[in-house]
A and B are shown apart, each in its own frame.
Chain A
Amino acid sequence: MNRSILYRITHWFIRIEELLLCVILLLLIVLSSYQIGLRWFASGGLLWIDPLLRNLVLWGGLLGAALATLSGKHIALDLVGYLVSDRLKQILDLTTTLFSAVVSALLLRAAWRFVQSEMEFGGPALFGIQSWVWFLIFPITFALITLHFITNLFLDPSGKKHPANLRYGKGEQT
């Protein structure tokens, strides 16, 4: 596979996911504050804001997790990583990434079955939109996560040249 194309595609994925995350966080802050304002000054809030906020938190957290995959920022134990040689470390990383890709693909399948069940039995949810539409985030996220793990098989996420690190820089690992 041509690496520079993969770099460019990955770069765009990062930008789009970042954009979505910013919009979601902004909405969380603005809508919550607006709801509080309504309650304080107009003695009552809008019924749709709280359920929308709950959906946005779910979407934001899952998309955040997708982006965390691409930038190698998932919480992990890694007790062995510091002790072994770079060569062995690379092999271990490949193994864990491959395993992660398989598990997220299985989760993707389970997510899809859940959405199918909602299509059949769920009903209208927020804004009259069918519940399964709101839950599409599950298969979307796990498709992205699977894809990102596969990408990371080719682009080392801890490497300096990984697009995620070009944007974030390393070292503020928290």
Chain B
Amino acid sequence: MKSLFILLLALIGTPLFIVISAVTLLSYQQAGIDTSVIFIEMTRLGETPLLISLPLFIFAGTLLSESGTPQRILKLSQLLLGWLPGGLAVISLTVCAVFTAFTGASGVTIFALGGLLLPALLKDGYQQRFSLGLITSSGSLGLLFPPSLPLILYGVISETRIDQLFLAGIIPGTLMLILLSLYAIKSGPPHLPQEKTQSNFAILKETIWELPLPFIVIIGIYGGFLVASEAAAVTALYVIIVEVFIYRDISIRQLPGIMARSMVLFGGIMIILAASTASTNYFVDQEIPNRLFAVISQHIESKYSFLLLLNLFLLLVGSFLDIFSALILIVPLILPIAQNYDIHPIHLGIIFLTNLQIGYCTPPVGLNLFLAAYRFEKPILELYRASLPFLGLLVITLLLITYFPILSLGLIF
């Protein structure tokens, strides 16, 4: 009864951390656990070494998206991929993927890049529906590439190794990119030669400071110079230096506002994480994942039918919840069950993120659909139709990722 009341309050817009806390307080009371244990769990969260990379990458991503970076990397990609048939579509997909990896899937890609890409695509002769669908679905492409925030968050929650997660995402993410690119090339207009306003050299020179960004993370971590949290600090410091002092896209006076906003964004995620850690403690105490597994395993024997059901469940969750809440709420419950089915936690992570990524553009309530509708002032139904073919391709990738664990685990083991 009380739980039903809380669910109702959740549906009418109560902050999620309050909803989780309320349920946690209730369940602790019923199980006879002292409520101060909630804060013991929060101290545990505070000791997670990876946690620090969240505010740092959030800040770096916010700063990047408010600077001239989107325009500059777009120009650079045109230089690198402009020769390709369907080049602009491939460029759009690639740029969105890289940008999302750095800014997290917060819809910022659609806002920062969509506005630049859509007119360019239309001008190049792409159909409006195709262009809208492409931008909507690419708004969360890149979630599987380092150093994407959801990937790190999965590492934090599941206590898996972040360096392995980063490696695991590369092949599945690239596969997704290739499939979408092939489709784009096939359905693109006949290739028009690009008109250039700047020489290749000028473009390269202009973007010279942003080029090293992906390599800081990759070389830093896999070269043994940095742990993941340190790579975040170096990225944040580098982005400040580049955007504020070299390009001067952001003035020093703007910086405090951006910093405060990043920390508010981080706070919003961390407080849910804290509340959920406390509720997870209740699951652990009552051995709920074990009991759930006992029930589920009576009906589902094979790992593969479990994975199929998991995918359906996650697609549903992904279209209703934002990616952070979905990860925080579902991972602690599913992870121990999946391990009983002998699914590797890293493979599970890639499946999770792919599902949630698809959920972003799944009707009726995928966030990207709303963001794109809002940004480009189009009716939501038009976006449903536009994103369908892309959605189909993403689902094919999902099935490949799910049933061929080697795609995720091949680079690690």
Contacts and interface: CB of A to CB of B under 8 A. Distances in A.
So, do A and B actually touch in the complex, CB under 8 Å? yes
Nearest to A104: B18
Interface string A66-80: 111101011111111
Nearest to B59: A25
Contacts of A106: 25, 35
Given A32-B233, A76-B16, A110 B39 contact: yes
B38 A110 contact: yes
B268 A65 contact: yes
B193 interface: no
A107 interface: yes
A22 B260 contact: yes
A168 to B, nearest CB: 7
A135 B40 CA distance: 10
Contacts of B22: 99, 103
B242 interface: no
Identify which of A24, A33, A68, A104 gathers the most chain B CB atoms within 10 Å of its CB: A68
Contacts of B321: 77
B36 interface: yes
A46 interface: no
Interface stretch (B6-14, B114-122, B171-179, B393-401): B6-14
A51 B16 CA distance: 29
A58 interface: yes
Nearest to A112: B36
B325 interface: yes
Given A92-B12, A96-B13, A107-B21, A63 B263 contact: yes
B259 A21 contact: yes
Interface in A75-92: 75-81, 92
Given A55-B46, A96-B13, A174-B106, A64 B263 contact: yes
B135 interface: no
> What's the dominant secondary structure at chain A's contact region?
helix
B39 A114 contact: yes
A115 B232 CA distance: 32
A95 interface: yes
Size bracket of the B interface: 35 or more
A130 interface: no
Interface in B51-105: 51-52, 55-56, 59
A92 B234 contact: no
B166 interface: no
Contacts of A99: 9, 14, 18, 22
B159 to A, nearest CB: 16
B132 interface: no
A73 B16 CA distance: 11
B224 to A, nearest CB: 11
A140 B397 CA distance: 47
Given A61-B266, A114-B36, A75 B325 contact: yes
A103 B266 contact: no
B272 interface: yes
Given A22-B259, A103-B18, A64 B270 contact: yes
Given A21-B260, A25-B59, A65-B267, A77 B10 contact: yes
A74 B17 contact: yes
A110 B106 contact: no
Contacts of A100: 14-15, 18
Contacts of A64: 55, 263-268, 270
Nearest to A164: B264
Interface in A127-159: 135, 138
A80 B17 CA distance: 18
B237 A78 contact: no
Nearest to B321: A77
A111 B267 contact: no
Contacts of A103: 18, 21-22, 25
Contacts of B45: 58
Interface string B266-284: 1111111010000000000
Contact of B11 (A32, A40, A79): A79
Contact of B264 (A55, A71, A93, A104): A71
A138 B13 contact: no
Nearest to A84: B12
B268 A113 contact: no
B108 A174 contact: yes
Contacts of B10: 76-77
Given A77-B16, A78-B13, 7 more contacts: A60-B266, A65-B17, A65-B271, A67-B264, A75-B325, A92-B12, A96-B14
5 contacts: A22-B256, A78-B12, A81-B13, A96-B9, A104-B18
- Return the 6 tightest CB-CB contacts between A and B, nearest first: A64-B267, A61-B270, A32-B233, A74-B15, A78-B13, A65-B271
